[in-house]
Structure 1
Amino acid sequence: MRLLPRRPRSVRTRLVLISTVLATVAVLVSQAAGLAVMRSWLTGQIDHRLTQFRPPPPAAYGRPPHGPVPEDALPSDFRVFFYASDGRLRSHSLGSGTGRPRLPESASGPALERGRPVTVPDAGGGADWRVVADTGPDGRSVVVALPLDTVEGATSKLLWFSLAIGVVTAAGVGLLGSAAVRLGLRPLARMERTALRITGGESALTVADTDPRTETGRLGIAFNTMLGQVRAALHRKDASEQRLRRFMADAGHELRTPLTSIQGFAELLVEQPRLPAARRREAHELIARNAERMSRLVDDLFLLAKLGYAPVAHRETVDLLSLAADGVGAAVVAHPGREVRLAPLGGGDADGPGPALDVVEALGDAHQLSQVIGNLLANACRHTPSGARVEVRVGAVLTGPETGGTDRPGRSSATAALPAGVPACVVEVADDGPGLAADAARQVFERFYRGPAAAGEGVEPGSGLGLSIAATIAEAHGGRLELDTRPGYGCVFRLLLPRSVGPDPYCPA
């Protein structure tokens, strides 16, 4: 026969059942203990009366002890039984009442211990007797007995009373306990309804019972914390999906422009094979230029994807001053006529007054850090007028609102702030151009964001990935790339890297 699975009981049902059983058991145990104590006390009272009783002399019986004894010789519930001189139990007794205890037939038989009360059954099956053996005035054995019918009657009534109390207690605890448990579990019921509403789509709800002094309150706090984390995860997921969609759309748009140009000029060359040599050379140059642009864009996208999931693979001691000098030299060649110079972080220049340039070393990938400096210089030269100066400063500081690494008004970054007071090596790329508004400054590190190029420069716009790549490389090195700017005061891009190489005068201990 297949057994059906037992239906699980609810928490409220289990609590009511447990409380009812415990209360009933407690009442019954206490009543049983009281019954035992009362029976013991009543029996002790009877034993006291038995041990204090002394049989009267034979003359007080009104008849010789060999003849029958009147039943009402003792005006009480005592019964006195005698053993004859030959040791046999006499059929007559002293005292009144019905029934008689089951005593030994001979004094030489199983004897009762003298002076010690014992319980014996009734000869006719009635209530038990409490008897004690003694020696009469004439030296013969005498048994004094008292019936236990009053004791058994009292204990029987108390037993039934205890059972009734137990039944009433069980019913009362069941009813009142159900109401009390329902009242106590009301916060859980509210929490359950809130959870059902949340699953129904009302995701902004929270649990109202958050008293840390109660179990349900602590559960509510944990539930709200869990809801907050789930909402944050969902928001991050939605934001990530939105960024991915925007990234794919921007990447497609950026790739479509050079691809359309390549396709157009290729079709021109195919459809018009007799183009003049100058026009054919121009078409080939435009195709090559757009192909190179696509190649750079694909390389930048690949680098971003690689930096997004892989740590810096190659770490070595890097001289940031040498990297900055190489970047300044490349910028001067790429932008002739532009004033680009190298200076210490504290002010002055390499040959003038102010702190002298010294070696500033950090731990990282030299190629990637060189790419960061190159991107910052290219960005400064592309988006500032030709007469604006660009200065690269190298040094070391303790992070703070004034020196960099932490957040403050007018400062933006794509990565989290560094702890204050941490030694860091710094490379700053500063210009005295027009600067950026607050809204534009918050977007410069976004992918495919392109600020306005310098007026009249005729410089081909970039892909909008340079600063995003630089910020990602800085974050991969455990550092930060940030921007201090405001309209009319130029821009200062600051690369901060954790100090991890021996002491130098620019990295205070």
Structure 2
Amino acid sequence: MTGAARHPSRPADLAFLGTGGHPDGLLAARFDTGGVVLAAEVVRADDGPRPLRAARCAALTGVPDDGSAHTRTVPGLGAYRVTALGADGIRVLAGLPQDDVRHTLGQFVRIGAAAAGTVLLLAGAGCALAVRRRLHPLGHLAATAAEVARTPLTPDRPAQPARIPAPDADPGTETGQIGAALNRMIDQVEAAHAARRRGEERVRRFIADAGRELRTPLASIAGYAELMNRAPGPGGADPAWRRTGTESARLTGLVENLLLLARLAEDRPAQTPTVDLAVLAAEAVRNARSTGPDHVWRLELPPEPTPLVTGDGPRLKQALSALPANARVHTPPGTRVTVTVGSTAGRPTVRVRDDGPGIPPALLPTVFDPFTRADPSRTRRGLAEGGSGLGPAVAPAIEAAHRGRLDARSEPGRTGFRIGLPAARQPRPPGPAVGYGSACSAQITLP
């Protein structure tokens, strides 16, 4: 303004720009009272002030001389921050470019954003590391809990459950409190399991002792009943003594089953030479037919010999005989009972099926538990026929001792039990299979 005031008579004079010391990109102009630019120049550091063309001057037209800063975009030069002043008829406009400022501010923003992102990234990594370090004991807790879940707690295979290490069970931390609580829970579970084992051991010992003590009086009662039945009399044998003999025989069978369950719970039976399941199944069907002539008995044998099994023959026979006997007791006369001998996936199997009324769904999960009895939906024919609830329990105990498996499925009109046993390593000797006989065909129906 001062330089322009030196030549008030020359309204287009911008000689003050040539004095030097002006920043690169400085824009100066003089305009009249109507805001029309009379002359405009821009300072270049390399060759001094340069005049602006008309298009660029038009962009500066209309800037009020109020001393305020205004933003104008000059074609080819970019955005400018301009200010117009007027005094004593002299009006001068000056402006500085904004591109350098904006570029500098953009760089500051980018640098600040990068720095902030780096700080946030480092802070996040540090927090994640700290959290993982604090929660690292939870991995030990989860691994220990999974190991405890896999630990067998069966009475025949007691095991020592794992514990949380002392550093991870420090009650001074939250995770340590969880570890200490988990250790206490494991201790309580182990103590309860040990108490259960001791209780079961006492029960087995009592059953074994009681069974052995009952054998002698039952044998005496059976002997006296048999003696009185054979005693000559005018009317033949007394029905009361016959009833006594029958009940003593039933009680003797009950005691023997109790003793067998107690022995099987303690150890496995001694392994004897190989056994042919077809022979045992045929004997089981023959015995069932002799005691249940009012049923239809059917034996199905495969065309080829079944694989042999290794085990205690008498006990396996008892397990196979218990299932047809159970079907005989709990089904009405005329029921068809089928015993099938075969092989499934290389494992010898025996299936016992009947077309009776079926096992109630509520009773099916506990059908192999001792002293389980069916409700009236499966006909029971009196205690003299058995029905103590030990027959189905003896069979799975014997199969488990031989590393076998017994399962049951039932629906009205079709009830089936399946016994699967591991095949013997010793192959069947050459020659005809023992027990099949020339009179046996693939299917035998015994009325």
Shorter-chain TM-score range: 0.3 to 0.5
More strand by share: 2
TM-score (norm 1): 0.41
TM-score (norm 2): 0.46
